[in-house]
Chain A
Amino acid sequence: MRKTFAIGIGGAAGQGVATPGDIFAKIFSRRGLHLNAYNAYQSIIRGGHTFLTIRTGPEKVTNMGDRLDLLIPLNQDAMDRHLGLLTDGSACLYNSETIKPGIAAQGVQLCPLPVSKLADVTRNKVAQNTLAVGAALSMMGIGFQALEQVLTEQFKKKGDAVVSENIGIARAGYDYAGTNFQPFAWPLPMTANRYAVLSGNIAMAMGGAAAGVKFYCAYPMSPSTGVLHWMAAHARKAGIMVRQVEDEIGVVNMAIGAAHAGVRSMCATSGGGFALMTEGLGLSAMLETPVVVIDCQRAGPSTGVPTKTEQGDLWQMLGAGFGDYPRAIAAPLDIGDCFKLIPEIFNIADRFQCPGIVLCDLLLSEGRLSVDAKDLDFAAPIDRGELIMDAPETSTSNGDGVYKRYRITESGISPRAVPGVPGHTHTAASDEHDEDGVLISDEFTNPTKRRAMMEKRMRKVVGIEAAVPPPVLWGPRDADVTLIGWGSTKGVIEEACEILAEQGIPANQLQIRWLVPLHGDAILDILKQARHTIIVENNFSGQFARYLRSETSFVPDGHIRKYDGEPFMPHHIVEAVKEQLGGKCKLSVPAHEILV
């Protein structure tokens, strides 16, 4: 089993949960440790309850894990909600002047901090947080210097006095813990590696920059807004035009306009905004103008639970827009993949002149992960497809009719000239049109031409399928159970498989990244060999299971589903697998024990 250490910090929104989290994340990544952070929060700016989990370790940390080693409750509410999660060997650091601990399990170390005796609380309102960070690092066996450096960076804009005040408070917490509390049994190791720590939203924004995106526009919507924020903050350096638009209908159409003029163009939203974009996706397909749309799923329907995760938008993506048209849909597998996928899907969208949809979710969008800087490849291949960007200034006339924008070809791809190129004028039309772009929806209605155009566009599906690799099975060939997931559940299923193997149940995993094209035959070939198949997904109705069945007629032996707004933890899957292998049920819906 991977050795990890997890910290939970809970408090009210506005109480400063994020800052200690950022400090821990920086210190861990600079120690060469991997980390995964997930913040369970509410749609409230001040008050309520928010709970940040940071898990670290020398090997890849792919999810929040099952165990908390350290709890830092910043108020009584957080203590009351979470103390019961702690088990033997873990500890709880709290302000003993404002918080009463309650009853902890056997072997849990309660660590009261007499905050006003250690710091001037009248001067520094977040002194308890800083003391706790100092105390925690001491108990983890991390030298104070690392914290001193991070605090200096954190507060340097506020001046030397603020820096030294915070270092003083942290030092007091660090020293107090050294004399009063037991250090953790496993001092955090150090490696020579250095990782970047980033959210899925930042990864997708940077992936866009790597893909050569020149136009990004959005309407703010949780949990996708982080993409807009990175883009806006880096637009000038990266040479990207970033616009905030009046609504998502405007967003997708503006993105299509920019794409039509010849630049790579991207936008991100969540389910509700995506619903407004669907007519525009059809336009992208009909004009054969590529655009990439990111959907960061949150718990729906309607406004739903804006700060909670779900994989409930799959069928919306599959059916987005009326009529049949080619599209590519992919779900990134982890935060590193959020970066990698964007240049890939742009190449597909550009080559096949169709919309590309990235099906992300809150878990990845707002979660944070340590990623090797080498995996953030800004030199990823860029393939713009059959794009005509210039031609000799021959004539202002297009009378020869040589250039046909929608020329019928075997691949279904017609070379695309962008406005401004001499001799290639044409109209790109939303109505059905012939090879010239002339409308065949009114007086020139023609069933033969309509059929030919429909077949031309849909032929691109064959090319897209060939351009996208089929999924592969991970883990041992011979396994008692095959777990099938898609997108963001990759990490948690992977860890569940490891735990199952340790417990004597060999398990393997089939994780789907490309949803369209699906490669149904390849999936069937894999699943035919499986002894017991279970589909794991973060939604109520088994959207992927239904999709897989509709494409392949495959019916799994069981399902594990979760739709409470929170992500899976490894033990949810492990316990459900055992339950199902024992023949108790075919559908497991694990309960989330962390109350946020």
Chain B
Amino acid sequence: MATALAATNHVAMSDLKGKVDPDWCPGCGDFGVLAAVQKALVDLQIPNHNVVTISGIGCSSNFPGFINTYGMHTLHGRALAVATGVKLANHELTVLVTGGDGDGFGIGGNHFVHSMRRNVDLLYIVMDNQIYGLTTGQTSPTSRLGMKTKSMPFGSVEAPVNPISLALAAGATFVARGFSAEQKHLTELIKQGIQHKGFSFLDVFSPCVTYNHDNTYQWFRPRVKKLEDEKGYDATDWMAAMGKSLLWDEEIPIGKFFERTDVPTLHGAEPVLDDGPLVHADNRIPKDMTRTFIEELM
């Protein structure tokens, strides 16, 4: 997702502090994501009034209330649809979409797939904790096979969705994965995602310390391996990215899997926006034009 850097005003961490403190459980992975987003916006010096943070519903979807930007807290699963409308109406805004795995890959799955193929210019951060938290611990679309939860007490019999491969297959033009315990690395990915022109998908392991006892910080730490550290990994190679996306258990890659910059964004491909954002357009259509609309009918 692309953005213009602020010319004059200095953006500080304090500017981005929300009206209230997060009420996530102590130790929740989402704290790390919030801090990384705030740091990224400071590093990029984007004024907070030019940022819209849009979420669905869930623990992580309370995110917009905890950061001082324009925010929208929408319906469960619908953040990407709302965000597409915001971006198309005013493409000068930096649009961040934040949410969880249930919100994005479950109830919002349809919008997820279509937003990626459209290459809407925004950064979508999924705080993926492989569980439903706000409803007190049920199986999510990314819960591993066999995981026991309140809704599947004998273990899940459904194969989880692989968000990275799905994003690659659906045509996302920037695909990355972070880990909320890797702050610096995560901040870099967020900055890259904001600067990418097109749909940036960032799946973040954000452990749920209350309900997910399988995918804990301790479980992730020895497994995650940064793609950036891998010699010769080429993030423009879609096939290589797809191959990496399939790795799990022993070794789980994090970092930028894939990026391509040759695909027009949805708003970039729309001639109606040639004269600037819709929100600044004149409400009235020129009279000679409206006359032709009527003459067609005579």
Contact residues of A with B, CB < 8 Å?
Answer: 29-30, 194-198, 202, 206, 209-210, 212, 214-215, 217, 234-241, 243, 245-247, 249-251, 253-265, 279-280, 283, 287, 373, 376, 378-379, 382, 384, 389, 393, 395-398, 418-431, 436-439, 442-444
Contact = CB atoms under 8 A, between A and B. Distances in A.
A250 B278 contact: no
B70 A255 contact: no
Contact of A196 (B19, B47, B281, B297): B297
B285 A428 contact: no
Given A212-B283, A214-B278, A421-B49, 19 more contacts: A29-B298, A195-B298, A237-B292, A243-B84, A245-B114, A247-B110, A249-B110, A253-B111, A254-B85, A261-B86, A261-B93, A263-B281, A264-B283, A378-B287, A379-B284, A393-B9, A419-B90, A423-B49, A425-B49
A378 B82 contact: no
B85 A258 contact: yes
Contact of B68 (A241, A373, A398, A419): A398
B55 to A, nearest CB: 9
A395 B9 CA distance: 8
Given A239-B285, A419-B93, A442-B23, A396 B48 contact: yes
Nearest to B78: A253
B294 A443 contact: no
Nearest to A427: B71
B99 interface: no
10 contacts: A214-B279, A214-B281, A241-B89, A254-B82, A254-B88, A257-B84, A261-B93, A422-B49, A426-B70, A430-B75
A418 B6 CA distance: 19
Contact of B50 (A234, A420, A436, A437): A420
Contacts of A253: 74-75, 78, 81-82, 85, 111
A264 B281 CA distance: 11
Given A396-B49, A427-B71, A428-B71, A257 B82 contact: yes
A25 to B, nearest CB: 10
Contacts of A259: 85, 89
Interface stretch (B57-65, B146-154, B157-165): B57-65
A194 B294 CA distance: 11
Interface in B269-295: 270-273, 275, 278-279, 281-285, 287, 289-290, 292-294
User: 4 tightest CB-CB pairs across the interface, nearest first?
Assistant: A257-B85, A427-B71, A212-B283, A261-B89
B88 to A, nearest CB: 5
Residue from the set A263, A264, A425 with the largest chain B CB neighbour count within 10 Å: A425
Nearest to B53: A427
A438 B47 contact: no
Contact of B89 (A214, A373, A431): A214
A296 B272 CA distance: 27
Contacts, number: 228
Interface in B1-41: 6, 9-11, 14-15, 19-20, 23
Contacts of A395: 9
B271 A236 contact: yes
A30 B86 CA distance: 44
Interface string B77-116: 0100111111111101100000000000000001101100
Contacts of B70: 419-420, 425-427
B69 interface: yes
Contacts of A256: 74, 82, 85
A243 B285 contact: no
Given A239-B272, A246-B114, A398-B68, A215 B85 contact: yes
B126 interface: no
Interface of B: 6, 9-11, 14-15, 19-20, 23, 47-50, 52-54, 57, 62, 64-65, 68-75, 78, 81-90, 92-93, 110-111, 113-114, 270-273, 275, 278-279, 281-285, 287, 289-290, 292-294, 297-298
A259 B278 CA distance: 11
Q: Chain A CB within 10 Å — which of B273, B279, B287, B292 has the most?
A: B279
A250 B294 contact: no
A46 B285 CA distance: 39
Nearest to A393: B9
Contacts of B289: 237-238
Contacts of B15: 396-397
Nearest to B83: A257
A198 B293 CA distance: 11
B74 to A, nearest CB: 5
A263 B282 CA distance: 10
A569 to B, nearest CB: 26
B114 A419 contact: no
B190 to A, nearest CB: 19
Nearest to A257: B85
A124 to B, nearest CB: 27
Q: Which of B14, B15, B23, B78 has the most CB of A within 10 A?
A: B78
Contacts of A235: 272
Contacts of A283: 74-75, 78
Contacts of A238: 285, 289, 293
B25 to A, nearest CB: 12
Nearest to A390: B280
Given A256-B85, A397-B15, A429-B65, A420 B90 contact: yes
A472 to B, nearest CB: 29
A40 to B, nearest CB: 22
Given A241-B270, A260-B82, A430-B57, A194 B298 contact: yes
Contacts of A389: 279
B287 A263 contact: no
A427 B278 contact: no
Contact of B294 (A196, A260, A439): A196
B6 to A, nearest CB: 8
A17 B228 CA distance: 65
Nearest to B64: A427
B158 to A, nearest CB: 23
Most A Cβ at <10 Å: residue of B50, B81, B82: B82
B73 A239 contact: no
A246 B108 CA distance: 12
A246 B110 contact: yes
In the complex, which of the residues B14, B65, B72, B83 has the most CB atoms of chain A within 10 Å of its own CB atom?
A: B72
A438 B64 CA distance: 10
A280 B88 CA distance: 18
Contacts of B92: 420
Contacts of A444: 20
A581 to B, nearest CB: 41
